[in-house]
Amino acid sequence: MPVLNERAYLRRAVETVLAQDVGGPTELILALAPSTDGTTELARELAADERIVLVDNPDADIPIGLNRAIRAGRYPTIVRVDAHSELEPGYTTRALETLDRVRAANVGGVMKADGRTPFQRAVARAYNSPIGLGGGAYHGGTSEGEAESAYLGVMRRDVLDEVGLFDESIRRGEDWELNLRIRRAGYRVWFDPALAVTYWPRESWTRLVRQFSATGRWRGELVRRFGRGNSLRFFAPPALVIDLALSVIVGLLQLTGVLNGWWSLAASAVYLPLVVYAVLILAMAVGRGGGTGWRDKLWTLVVLPTMHFSWGTGFLTGVVRGAHDTVDTSRLGDRNTPLP
């Protein structure tokens, strides 16, 4: 479990991991990045349980922390967990059974996003909706089978050693890239909808923007590196950003009279995707997917475009310029976030 500034979530995340009953020896390795909110002190307190092992991750990068934790591990199965999540009861037992049953190298399940505030609930609904994150299997899939990637993942240690662990040059999307290497090595990555992990999204608009901008830029970098190894769904947000830019240009040309007559009518087709998009967002906000409270519905109207345009803009930047040293700073700052 890589950990950075997670005091509000760490205790519960650890409790759900330690509560897993797998009928054999286990350990929980926390890779501690330099936190500023008391997370490190809480981790040391929790480490009074002898099953918890602490390793330092001064670089604060997730793949580096994961690799340090994996190398410190003693057992043949690696269960990746997140400090912002909670494992469902029986998660590990079911995953181990699935690993053996389908002879997979990595098994993952459903990311079941949830929220404590109107804003966080709106983000969670976006995560859980095909409109929000593009319909990847772990965002609500119901059919078991081979998958492109796995959320978190329960992995065979020998396969990880063979393919080379996480690529430490990739700061976002490292799980997708690892699963790509696993599949190219001839092993199965498997999705099992019976597995569920509760995930708590970012708690503020600024954090959400920073998270999705960084993630989008790294996806652009992965497109530079692996081309069409990337799913087509990753190209929808940047296409939306490009269409918005074209719509602004066409609108200005129409207002200034540069475009008129038949040419203006033909160019107006550029508005159609945005109209369809706006209708989808509005339908989700006012419908069952938008929550019950009016604040939930209003935040849904804000959250979905924020996610899509932040991600899409980041993607285009990543494709053109690369990700370089881009990091997700959404776990930094916001020191006044209330504790549960």
Residue 291 has pLDDT above 70, yes or no: no
Q: What pLDDT was estimated at residue 338?
A: 37
**pLDDT category of residue 138 using cuts at 50, 70 and 90:** low
Q: What pLDDT was estimated at residue 340?
A: 33
Q: Which two tokens stand for residue 299?
A: 């935040």
Write the burial class of residue 74 (CB in 10 Å: 0-12 exposed, 13-18 middle, 19+ buried). Answer: exposed
Residue 290 has pLDDT above 80, yes or no: no
- Mean pLDDT calculated for residue range 329-333: 75
- The tens digit of pLDDT for each residue in 81-130 reads 999 999 999 999 999 999 999 999 999 999 999 999 999 999 999 998 88
- Mean pLDDT calculated for residue range 176-197: 96
Q: Rounded to 5 degrees, what angle do the CA atoms 180, 183, 189 make?
A: 95
Sequence ranges of the domains in the chain? 2-204, 226-321
Count of other CB atoms within 10 angstroms of residue 144: 16
Closest CA to 212 of 340, 330, 98: 330
Q: What pLDDT was estimated at residue 286?
A: 87
Domain 2-204: homologous superfamily in CATH: Spore Coat Polysaccharide Biosynthesis Protein SpsA; Chain A (3.90.550.10)
Higher pLDDT, 250 or 233: 250
Closest CA to 32 of 11, 53, 17: 53
Q: What pLDDT was estimated at residue 233?
A: 85
Strand, helix or coil for residue 217: helix
Residue 336 has pLDDT above 80, yes or no: no
Residue 180 has pLDDT above 50, yes or no: yes
- Mean pLDDT calculated for residue range 233-239: 92
Residue 136 has pLDDT above 70, yes or no: no
Distances (CA, A) of 290 to 18, 123, 261, 281, 323: 34, 10, 41, 9, 33
What is the distance between the alpha carbons of residues 179 and 39, in angstroms, rounded to a whole number? 30
Q: Give every CB contact of residue 91 below 8 A, 6+ residues apart in sequence.
A: 20, 109, 195, 196, 197
Q: What pLDDT was estimated at residue 337?
A: 41
- Mean pLDDT calculated for residue range 5-16: 95
Q: What pLDDT was estimated at residue 339?
A: 34
Higher pLDDT, 299 or 287: 299
What is the distance between the alpha carbons of residues 149 and 191, in angstroms, rounded to a whole number? 8
Q: What pLDDT was estimated at residue 232?
A: 84
Q: What pLDDT was estimated at residue 281?
A: 94
Radius of gyration of the chain measured on its C-alpha atoms: 21
Position of tokens 């909110």? 37
Q: What pLDDT was estimated at residue 197?
A: 94
**pLDDT category of residue 331 using cuts at 50, 70 and 90:** confident
- The tens digit of pLDDT for each residue in 245-254 reads 999 999 999 9
